[in-house]
């Protein structure tokens, strides 16, 4: 009898374990109001709890989620039909009032960090409980992609109004495949499967996100079975591959590592010939080989796989011609050793800075590396006039849209344009027009024309599109998504 009891307990314990999926995340979740954070990790976790009106599939295509269809009625108005029978985690029904509440809150409340996503929204008209019309101030081709982002995920009007924002950020409800159960700050987030999920029940009954900031530790957890999914640094790839219990998967990103150049008058980099010489002096492939274990793609544009309207012509190529660089420097009036270029950045870019410095030296430029603690650097970079020639930056764009990426260099309002002081009116007009153009063919043409100007003018020198590494347990059937989301709805135990 006792043996039987032990056996039963053992089986129960095993099955309980088999149903829990544990994932390592590199930082804690600041709170659960998706409109109030720009932290990547939080945005990767939210889709398990909240659904958007639209979603991105594994190919990066926009697909229905809580909205079944979306169409432009006239240039500025979008008609959306909502999915019926969707329940919030507390059992209430999701309907058009929730859409109105969520989107109008984001559009009108400037205090919300992600307010910028809905600045074009004027109002949400509730036609009936399952139909809405979004009235935009301008034609907005970015609206569908914005509606896929975690920050625009649907929030429950009834619950939000009942408990207030402070309570909501600590105990949220959504319509997603998992329900919030518990969050222990900087320790773990525990989610329980949503039995009534509109797309079916997820395979694991419990989802645990463990906060492990140290990557060596999370890799140790991965190879001892403590977690089933973990980020891996390039140094730990072999350790995971040789463990026999987990494997390495690569994750495409749209993060592009680059140098921003200060082109304002008085700087050496104001001269286009100097900028071109810098570009020609730099061998992009070396960065990939030395810094990324050979993973990554050289590029002349700031885009990556999964981005809509990605200009493939300049992706996978780069210019490297040190002789021509020397000639251009001579034309600009600089002999060997006569031009000093400052290379600035956070201390985390030191390897990149040193490689670049060596390449510049090879064409007769005197490099001057200046590195700063990261928070000091971020205020230096964003304070106009604080950096002189080259600033080390790596950027991704969560909108997965090339037009959205370029708006950053639009003058005068684009954030990067304000740092590099590059102001090209033709470029800015093209990007502005593209981001108001609903016709995809025309939009692609406008963006291509803007790209030609960018590639010619070089306010930024793009090095490579980087790849993420994720370790996945051999007991788990799941692969990373191109948008980086850790949505675990489709995760299954491996056979």
Site for other proteins in 95-124 (CB under 8 A): 110-111, 113-116, 119
For the CB of residue 8, give the shortest distance to other proteins in the complex, in Å. Answer: 23
Tokens found for residue 421: 């002081």
How far is the first Cα of the chain from the last one, in angstroms, to the nearest whole number? 33
Segment 423 to 462, residues that bind other proteins, using CB under 8 A: none
Q: Rounded distance, CA 379 to CA 62, Å?
A: 36
Taking the least distance from each CB to other proteins, the nearer of 37 and 194 is 37
223 near other proteins, rule: CB under 8 A: yes
Q: Rounded distance, CA 144 to CA 400, Å?
A: 11
Between CA 39 and CA 100, with CA 181 as vertex, the angle to 5 degrees is: 60
For tokens 């329940």, the residue is 87
Closest CA to 454 of 432, 484, 431: 431
Q: Rounded distance, CA 222 to CA 25, Å?
A: 12
Helix (H) or strand (E) holding 180: strand 178-184
Closest CA to 261 of 360, 143, 372: 360
Q: Rounded distance, CA 473 to CA 351, Å?
A: 31
Taking the least distance from each CB to other proteins, the nearer of 375 and 495 is 375
Widest distance between CA atoms in the chain: 94
Binding mask 224-243 for other proteins (x = CB under 8 A): x-x-----------------
Instruction: Determine which residue in the list 416, 421, 443, 481 makes contact with other proteins, applying CB under 8 A.
Output: 416
Taking the least distance from each CB to other proteins, the nearer of 61 and 374 is 374
Instruction: Determine which residue in the list 8, 171, 415, 438 makes contact with other proteins, applying CB under 8 A.
Output: 415
For the CB of residue 385, give the shortest distance to other proteins in the complex, in Å. Answer: 14
Taking the least distance from each CB to other proteins, the nearer of 269 and 397 is 397
Taking the least distance from each CB to other proteins, the nearer of 31 and 176 is 31
Q: Rounded distance, CA 326 to CA 229, Å?
A: 48
- With contacts defined by CB under 8 A, name the span among 63-71, 313-321, 390-398, 449-457 that binds other proteins: 390-398
Give the residue ranges of DSSP H helices in 282-349.
Answer: 284-291, 322-331
Q: Are strands 206-211 and 20-25 parallel, antiparallel or unpaired?
A: parallel
Binding mask 392-411 for other proteins (x = CB under 8 A): xxxxxxxx----xx-xx---
For the CB of residue 134, give the shortest distance to other proteins in the complex, in Å. Answer: 20
Taking the least distance from each CB to other proteins, the nearer of 83 and 380 is 380
Instruction: Determine which residue in the list 107, 121, 191, 212 makes contact with other proteins, applying CB under 8 A.
Output: 212
Taking the least distance from each CB to other proteins, the nearer of 110 and 312 is 110
3-state secondary structure 277-300: HHHHHCCHHHHHHHHCCCCCEEEC
Query: Strand, coil or helix: what is 465?
Result: strand
Instruction: Determine which residue in the list 101, 315, 381, 402 makes contact with other proteins, applying CB under 8 A.
Output: 381
Segment 318 to 347, residues that bind other proteins, using CB under 8 A: 345-346
Q: Rounded distance, CA 249 to CA 477, Å?
A: 12
For the CB of residue 352, give the shortest distance to other proteins in the complex, in Å. Answer: 9
Taking the least distance from each CB to other proteins, the nearer of 178 and 381 is 381
Query: Could you give phi then psi for residue 293, rounded to 5 degrees?
Result: 55, 30
- Beta strands of 226-287 (E only): which ranges? 229-231, 246-261
For the CB of residue 381, give the shortest distance to other proteins in the complex, in Å. Answer: 7
DSSP code at position 308: B
Segment 246 to 275, residues that bind other proteins, using CB under 8 A: 255
Q: Rounded distance, CA 394 to CA 414, Å?
A: 16
Taking the least distance from each CB to other proteins, the nearer of 276 and 483 is 483
- With contacts defined by CB under 8 A, name the span among 194-202, 223-231, 261-269, 311-319 that binds other proteins: 223-231
Instruction: Determine which residue in the list 13, 16, 376, 494 makes contact with other proteins, applying CB under 8 A.
Output: 376
For the CB of residue 143, give the shortest distance to other proteins in the complex, in Å. Answer: 14
Taking the least distance from each CB to other proteins, the nearer of 172 and 364 is 172
DSSP code at position 431: H
Segment 137 to 176, residues that bind other proteins, using CB under 8 A: 165-166, 169-170
Segment 37 to 96, residues that bind other proteins, using CB under 8 A: 37-40
Q: How many residues make contact with other proteins (CB under 8 A)?
A: 71
Q: How many CB atoms lie within 10 A of CB 14?
A: 10
For the CB of residue 184, give the shortest distance to other proteins in the complex, in Å. Answer: 6
Taking the least distance from each CB to other proteins, the nearer of 61 and 383 is 383
């Amino acid at each position: 009898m006792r043996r039987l009891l032990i056996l039963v307990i053992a089986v129960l314990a095993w099955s309980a374990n088999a149903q829990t999926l544990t994932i390592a995340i590199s930082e804690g979740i600041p709170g659960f109001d998706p409109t109030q954070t720009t932290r990547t990790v939080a945005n990767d976790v939210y889709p398990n709890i909240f659904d958007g009106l639209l979603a991105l599939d594994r190919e990066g295509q926009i697909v229905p989620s809580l909205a079944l269809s979306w169409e432009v009625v006239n240039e500025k108005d979008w008609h959306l039909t909502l999915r019926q029978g969707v329940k919030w985690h507390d059992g209430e029904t999701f309907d058009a009032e929730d859409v109105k509440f969520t989107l109008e809150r984001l559009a009108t409340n400037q205090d919300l960090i992600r307010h910028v996503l809905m600045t074009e929204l004027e109002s949400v008209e509730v036609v009936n409980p399952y139909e809405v019309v979004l009235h935009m101030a301008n034609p907005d081709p970015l609206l569908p992609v914005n509606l896929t982002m975690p920050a625009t995920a649907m929030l429950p009007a009834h619950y939000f109004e009942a408990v207030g924002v402070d309570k909501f950020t600590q105990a949220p409800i959504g319509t997603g495949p998992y329900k919030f159960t518990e969050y222990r700050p900087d320790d773990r987030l525990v989610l329980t499967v949503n039995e009534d999920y509109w797309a079916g029940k997820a395979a694991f009954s419990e989802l645990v996100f463990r906060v492990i900031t140290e990557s060596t530790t999370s890799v140790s957890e991965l190879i001892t079975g403590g977690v089933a999914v973990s980020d891996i640094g390039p140094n730990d790839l072999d350790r995971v591959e040789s463990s026999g219990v987990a494997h390495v998967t690569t994750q495409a990103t749209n993060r592009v590592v680059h140098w921003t150049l200060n082109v304002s008058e008085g700087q050496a980099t104001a001269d286009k010939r100097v900028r071109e010489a810098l570009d020609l002096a730099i061998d992009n492939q070396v960065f990939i080989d030395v810094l990324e274990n050979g993973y990554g793609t050289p590029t002349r544009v700031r885009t990556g796989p999964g981005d809509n309207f990605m200009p493939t012509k300049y992706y996978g190529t780069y210019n490297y011609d040190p002789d021509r660089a020397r000639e251009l420097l001579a034309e600009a009036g600089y002999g060997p050793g006569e031009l000093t270029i400052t290379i600035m950045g956070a201390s985390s870019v030191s390897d990149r800075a040193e490689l670049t410095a060596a390449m510049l030296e090879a064409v007769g430029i005197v490099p001057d590396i200046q590195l700063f603690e990261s928070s000091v650097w971020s205020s230096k970079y964003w304070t106009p006039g604080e950096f002189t020639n080259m600033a080390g930056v790596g950027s991704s764009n969560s909108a997965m849209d090339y037009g959205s990426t370029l708006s950053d260099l639009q003058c005068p309002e684009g954030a990067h344009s304000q740092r590099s002081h590059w102001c090209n009116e033709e470029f800015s007009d093209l990007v502005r027009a593209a981001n108001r153009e609903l016709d995809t063919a025309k939009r692609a043409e406008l963006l291509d024309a803007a790209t030609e100007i960018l590639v010619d003018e070089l306010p930024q020198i793009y090095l490579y599109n980087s790849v993420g590494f994720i370790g996945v347990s051999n007991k788990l059937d799941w692969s990373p998504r191109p948008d980086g989301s850790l949505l675990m709805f489709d995760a299954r135990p491996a056979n």
